[in-house]
């Protein structure tokens, strides 16, 4: 294990959900956390939580869909904390709509720009600093990045791209001392799906599925991420269903498709 005490950690998507909870947990372990998200007021609240937990925190309002903003984010972290030890690419947005119902394919461009290209740009600018400190890249992906999910076509595409990028980069970085961890949560008790984009690209404002008994609690999710970071694991697949799904995709892909379709039909809100 490599403790987080004194480490410089950038967390994108830090204004709520997994990003906020992970940032506070890292601060409690003594990390110097740079918080990135679009909502400046929410970042101030998370910064106060991090400092109350015992860490140092810097709030940098950032739209990861803007390449220049990604560059400036890394520069601010380096200026404040002397370098970058860990980059957590967590910023993301999801969707809920059948592909044939989508009104504007700009929705797909937005998903790719935030979920995938935002991670690419942040990684590009942070990588020299990470290599200098033999640091860690963390990609918060999704089980949707491993298998197709109906009504999530654009989201699944962005997460598949993210998975492929970081799996490939991990190989390029072999021998450098810089590791890559891809995290694949299932449904976690956050409000990300309440902000899911619908067929017309608008936030739905409520979860598009019945989540009763279906979600992992946020504390458990963060604990699994932290354990993966401290152990420098290559991957964390959080649920038994996700791990079984990986096997089914190889040996019985048709069955996996039918199970995914049935699960979505049975959980429509």
Catalytic residue among 81, 108, 129, 155: 155
Q: What are phi and psi of 236, to 5 degrees?
A: -130, 110
Alpha-carbon span 34 to 92, nearest angstrom: 17
Q: Where are the beta strands (DSSP E) in the chain?
A: 8-12, 32-37, 56-61, 86-89, 136-140, 179-184, 235-237
203: part of which helix (H) or strand (E)? none
Catalytic residue at 155?
yes
| Angle subtended at Cα 47 by Cα 42 and Cα 50, rounded to the nearest 5 degrees | 130
Alpha-carbon span 90 to 186, nearest angstrom: 14
142: part of which helix (H) or strand (E)? none
Alpha-carbon span 59 to 42, nearest angstrom: 9
User: Residues 25, 99: contact at Cβ < 8 Å?
Assistant: no
Query: What positions carry a catalytic annotation?
Result: 155
């Amino acid at each position: 294990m490599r403790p987080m005490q004194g480490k410089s950690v950038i967390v994108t998507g830090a204004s709520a959900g997994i990003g906020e909870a992970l940032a506070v947990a890292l601060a409690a372990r003594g990390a110097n956390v740079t918080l990135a998200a679009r909502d400046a007021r929410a970042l101030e609240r998370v910064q106060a939580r991090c400092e109350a937990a015992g860490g140092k925190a810097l709030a940098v309002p950032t739209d990861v869909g803007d390449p220049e903003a990604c560059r400036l984010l890394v520069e601010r972290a380096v200026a404040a904390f002397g370098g970058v030890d860990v980059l957590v690419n967590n910023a993301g947005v999801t969707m809920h709509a059948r592909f044939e119902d989508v009104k504007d394919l700009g929705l797909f461009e937005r998903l790719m720009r935030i979920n995938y290209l935002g991670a690419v740009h942040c990684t590009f600018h942070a990588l020299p600093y990470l290599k200098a400190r033999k640091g860690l890249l963390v990609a918060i992906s999704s089980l949707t990045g491993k298998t197709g999910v109906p009504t999530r076509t654009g989201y699944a595409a962005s997460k598949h791209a993210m998975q492929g990028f970081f799996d490939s980069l991990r190989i390029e970085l072999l021998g450098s001392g810089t590791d890559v961890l891809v995290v694949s949560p299932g449904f976690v008790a956050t409000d990300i799906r309440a902000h899911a984009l619908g067929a017309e690209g608008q936030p739905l404002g409520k979860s598009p599925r019945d989540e009763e008994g279906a979600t992992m609690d946020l504390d458990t999710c963060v604990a699994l991420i932290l354990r993966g970071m401290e152990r420098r694991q290559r991957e964390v697949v959080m649920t038994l269903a996700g791990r079984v799904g990986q096997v089914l995709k190889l040996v019985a892909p048709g069955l996996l498709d039918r199970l995914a379709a049935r699960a979505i039909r049975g959980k429509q809100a």
